Amino acid sequence: MELSGAEILWECLMREGVEVVFGIPGGANMPIYDAMLKYPVHHVLVRHEQGAAHMADGYARASGKVGVAMATSGPGATNLVTGIATAMMDSSPVVFITGQVHAHLIGGDAFQETDVTGITLPITKHNYLVTRAEEIAQVVREAFYIARTGRPGPVLIDICKNAQIQKTEFVYPEKIQLPGYQPPRTAPAAELKKAAQMIKEARRPIILAGHGLLISRAYREMQELAHRAQIPVAMTLLGIGSMPASDPLNLGMMGMHGEAYCNLAIQNADLLIALGMRFDDRVTGNLKTYAPHARKIHVEIDPSEVHKNVVVDLPLFGDLKAVLGDLLPYVEEARHDEWLDQIEEWRAESDSRDIIYWPDDGKLYTAHVIRSIWEATQGKATLTTGVGQHQMWTAQYYPFEEPYRFITSGGAGTMGFGVPAALGVWFTDKSRDVWVIDGDGSFQMTQAELSTIVQEGASIKIAIMNNHFLGMVRQWQEFFFDSRYAATPLHGPDFVKIAEAHGIPGRRITKPEEVKEALQFANQTPGPVLLDFFVEMEEAVYPMVPAGADLHDMIRRPVREKTTA
Ligand SMILES: Cc1ncc(C[n+]2csc(CCOP(=O)(O)OP(=O)(O)O)c2C)c(N)n1
């Protein structure tokens, strides 16, 4: 059957199970958009291509399926770049499809010509420039396969306009052969036995649970390992949800803003079992003094991550689900009561400093607002965030019982991620309770997507933690630059009016006693709602490991006298 290149693209997308795409049309991808009308796919028209990228990314993270974002050539394509880098850093499977000028014009500075494959080479898992219609089917098939297998990641397909228009015979490639691309599946039995022996010998073991556990859907196997050998679990920011917050073995988040007792446990451990995490500088602090007493097992699908930051004793290459499934039969039951008692002692000391136990002093603290949102949503919402203090407080004060409920930009730390990612999450299941916890700075970066939310009729609740600062940078200035607040005080618009201008009901909350009623209002109002919380302006996230400092060298929240309320 002869089809145009654009039709072939959609035929392939249908075969990949694509139901929703996010994007903006323009000169170089108009044939793709024109052909789209013949196919049962929902297109979400965004207001800025960065939004499309984050939506597709949020969709992918929440569902495990490949997200799809589209843009025209030139500025359309370059507007995707931040979103592509964000997906790359967090191993999110997204296929980006950009239009390109006619093949014969390439290199001639044609209108809206940009070398997007060149630009995105270091921030994609793979990318393609397609100049002929005959290539499209094969390329799309490969792109989806590469995006979702092994260590997932973004793949970009740049399709010249002539290739979209040309007609050719459509033959769907049933098989793909990529000889140089063979992600490891599981580790050899001898290595697994070695790992089990190391676990048996450990007196102070700890599991480091990363994003890979969620990506490979191996969290249940990890929980079984933890329970069988009584091993406490520390999570990275993106590993949150892999262990239920209420599990006694859960130590919460590790690293720069991790729980103090969690970081102390890592520094005193005699065995680290690192699962699908990459020893990022935000979780290790100073590498020279990191977990000095511990032997280290690292289970990783991407060989380039092993020995990169931390040299380990035993690397196990493979898909976590397969590796843990194969490891479990070798792991014996064990108890580490003394070790857990020690950690409990550190935990009690941490509690004495925790802002969450402060009595109501009339001030609106972000940590308290987030805990109230947790209560109002019975801990069952799916949350997206921007980047900054509010993001860290969300990680600390919204205890997640389930995986895939905390969707946030980790590796890239991309402000503006929250609102568009939430729309992507909503498309995975429209009955989900989706909340954005945003900062006033982050919100302003992609607030244009409020229009998209309204156009799509999406029920998304947005809670802005409005401290009138670029809060996290202000905190660094307070701690490390003698409180010289260079370019961090932030004048924002009236967010309630902004919401109302979009037809979204909004409320401003300035006092603790208004919080509960506002959250009820959000829960009871169908469709999107925006809540603008005027929170304490100069509150800091604790604990904090200064960049590059030893992991145990944390700045702690001063213990507060429990006198007046
Ligand atoms: C796109 C982007 N630009 C700059 C930064 C640097 N940065 C990190 S946190 C932060 C402040 C965030 O402010 P806000 O969103 O209001 O959140 P808050 O820290 O106040 O909770 C900035 C500017 C970033 N992470 N991303």
Which residues make beta-bridge pairs with 207?
233, 273
Q: Does the beta carbon of 386 sit less than 6 angstroms from any atom of ligand 1?
A: yes
Percent of the chain predicted with pLDDT > 70: 99
Given 11, 49, 113, 142, which residue is catalytic? 49
3-state helix, strand, coil split of the chain in percent (to 5) is 40, 15, 40
Question: Vertex 392, ends 390 and 397: CA angle to 5°?
Answer: 90
Q: Which atom of ligand 1 is nearest to the CA of 416?
A: 1
Cα distances from 267 to residues 261, 294, 403, in angstroms, run 10, 8, 26
Burial bucket for residue 359 (CB in 10 Å: 0-12, 13-18, 19+): exposed
* Pairing assessment for the beta strands 94-100 and 67-71 based on DSSP bridges: parallel
Q: Does the beta carbon of 470 sit less than 6 angstroms from any atom of ligand 1?
A: yes
Q: Does the beta carbon of 231 sit less than 6 angstroms from any atom of ligand 1?
A: no
Burial bucket for residue 322 (CB in 10 Å: 0-12, 13-18, 19+): middle
Q: Does the annotation mark 481 as catalytic?
A: no
Which residue is listed with tokens 């935990």? Answer: 347
Q: Tell me the average pLDDT across 416-424.
A: 98
Q: Does the beta carbon of 412 sit less than 6 angstroms from any atom of ligand 1?
A: no
Q: Does the beta carbon of 442 sit less than 6 angstroms from any atom of ligand 1?
A: yes
The 10s digit of each residue's pLDDT in 300-334 is: 999 999 999 999 999 999 999 999 999 999 999 99
d(CA 424, CA 22): 9
What residue's CA is closest to ligand 1, atom 3? 415
Q: Does the annotation mark 112 as catalytic?
A: yes
- In this structure, the number of other CB atoms found within 10 A of the CB of residue 241 comes to 22
**Residue 405 predicted with pLDDT over 90:** yes
Q: Which helix (H) or strand (E) holds 282?
A: helix 281-284
What pLDDT sits at residue 560? 77
The 10s digit of each residue's pLDDT in 199-237 is: 999 999 999 999 999 999 999 999 999 999 999 999 999
d(CA 555, CA 430): 42
Q: Does the annotation mark 279 as catalytic?
A: no
Given 2, 14, 111, 517, which residue is catalytic? 111
d(CA 295, CA 203): 11
What residue's CA is closest to ligand 1, atom 20? 471
* CA of 467 relative to ligand 1 center, distance in Å: 12
* CA of 538 relative to ligand 1 center, distance in Å: 15
Contact between 7 and 169 under an 8 Å Cβ cutoff? The reply is no
Among 78-87, 353-362, 422-431, 460-469, name the one with the lowest average pLDDT: 353-362
* Pairing assessment for the beta strands 271-275 and 205-209 based on DSSP bridges: parallel
d(CA 380, CA 398): 10
d(CA 174, CA 141): 9
How far, rounded to the nearest angstrom, does the alpha carbon of residue 522 sit from its chain's CA centroid? 25
Smallest CA-to-CA distance from 163 within 129, 113, 193, 202 is with 129
Cα distances from 245 to residues 164, 347, 507, in angstroms, run 49, 14, 30
Q: Is 440 left (phi over 0), alpha (psi -120 to 50) or beta?
A: alpha
Residue spans of alpha helices (H) in 90-245:
116-120, 136-148, 161-165, 189-201, 211-215, 219-228
What residue's CA is closest to ligand 1, atom 9? 388
C-alpha dihedral sign at 261, 267, 272, 277: positive
- Confidence label for 1 from pLDDT (cuts 50, 70 and 90): confident
- Give me the torsion for CA of 355, 488, 252, 211, rounded to 10°: 160
Q: Does the beta carbon of 418 sit less than 6 angstroms from any atom of ligand 1?
A: no
Contact between 21 and 43 under an 8 Å Cβ cutoff? The reply is yes
3-state DSSP assignment of residue 267: helix
What pLDDT sits at residue 562? 55
Annotate 367-386 with b (16+ C-beta within 10 A) or e (fewer): bbbbbbbbebbebebbbbbb
Which residue is listed with tokens 């006619």? Answer: 102
Q: Does the annotation mark 161 as catalytic?
A: yes
Contact between 351 and 556 under an 8 Å Cβ cutoff? The reply is no
3-state DSSP assignment of residue 203: coil
* CA of 392 relative to ligand 1 center, distance in Å: 12
The 10s digit of each residue's pLDDT in 238-272 is: 999 999 999 999 999 999 999 999 999 999 999 99
Burial bucket for residue 543 (CB in 10 Å: 0-12, 13-18, 19+): buried
d(CA 415, CA 524): 29
- Confidence label for 563 from pLDDT (cuts 50, 70 and 90): very low
- Confidence label for 559 from pLDDT (cuts 50, 70 and 90): confident
Q: What is the pTM of this model?
A: 0.98
Given 36, 222, 392, 472, which residue is catalytic? 472
The 10s digit of each residue's pLDDT in 132-191 is: 999 999 999 999 999 999 999 999 999 999 999 999 999 999 999 999 999 999 999 999
Q: Which atom of ligand 1 is nearest to the CA of 412?
A: 25
d(CA 508, CA 492): 13
d(CA 373, CA 271): 36
* CA of 415 relative to ligand 1 center, distance in Å: 6
Contact between 470 and 391 under an 8 Å Cβ cutoff? The reply is no
Contact between 207 and 225 under an 8 Å Cβ cutoff? The reply is yes
Q: What residues contact 28, with CB distance under 8 A and at least 6 apart?
A: 72, 73, 74, 76, 98, 99, 100, 101, 112, 161
The 10s digit of each residue's pLDDT in 31-51 is: 999 999 999 999 999 999 999
**Quick one: tokens of 424?**
């992507």
d(CA 87, CA 50): 11
Contact between 533 and 463 under an 8 Å Cβ cutoff? The reply is yes
Which residues make beta-bridge pairs with 464?
438, 532
What value does the mean pLDDT of the chain take? 97
Which residue is listed with tokens 């969300």? Answer: 394
**Residue 565 predicted with pLDDT over 70:** no
d(CA 303, CA 248): 33
What are residue 126's phi and psi, to 5 degrees?
Answer: -160, 155
Which residue out of 90, 364, 365, 387 has the highest number of ligand 1 atoms within 8 Å of its CB and is therefore the one to mutate? 387
What residue's CA is closest to ligand 1, atom 8? 388
DSSP 505-534: -EEEE-SGGGHHHHHHHHHHSSS-EEEEEE
Count of helices and strands (H, E) across the chain: 23, 20
Q: Does the beta carbon of 369 sit less than 6 angstroms from any atom of ligand 1?
A: no
Q: Does the beta carbon of 415 sit less than 6 angstroms from any atom of ligand 1?
A: yes
Which residue out of 443, 470, 485 has the highest number of ligand 1 atoms within 8 Å of its CB and is therefore the one to mutate? 470
What pLDDT sits at residue 327? 98
Q: Does the annotation mark 391 as catalytic?
A: no
Contact between 512 and 368 under an 8 Å Cβ cutoff? The reply is yes
Q: Does the beta carbon of 93 sit less than 6 angstroms from any atom of ligand 1?
A: no
